[in-house]
Amino acid sequence: MAESAAPHCGFEFAGARVAIHGYGAVGRHAARFLARRGATVVGAADSAGTLADASGIDLA
């Protein structure tokens, strides 16, 4: 769905800096999806806490 909507919104995955709110079953996959398309994940949060790194978070 994101790939279909992005062009209509003028959003480019490549070079985007994103934060994921709700890094559970869905958020984890969303982060990987965005990273594979060139986005840099700079923040992630779930009920246990928040992680942020301006240079990007290693999703491995």
Tell me how far apart the alpha carbons of residues 18 and 47 are, in angstroms, rounded to a whole number: 19
CB neighbours (10 Å) of residue 33? 13
pLDDT in tens, 1-60: 788 888 889 889 999 999 999 999 899 999 999 999 999 999 999 999 999 999 999 998
Q: Residue 59: its pLDDT value, please?
A: 92
Residues recorded for the chain: 60
The model's pTM is 0.86
Beta bridge partners of 20: 44
Tell me how far apart the alpha carbons of residues 13 and 49 are, in angstroms, rounded to a whole number: 26
In the block, tokens 């969303």 appear at 30
Say if residues 34 and 13 touch (Cβ distance below 8 Å). Answer: yes
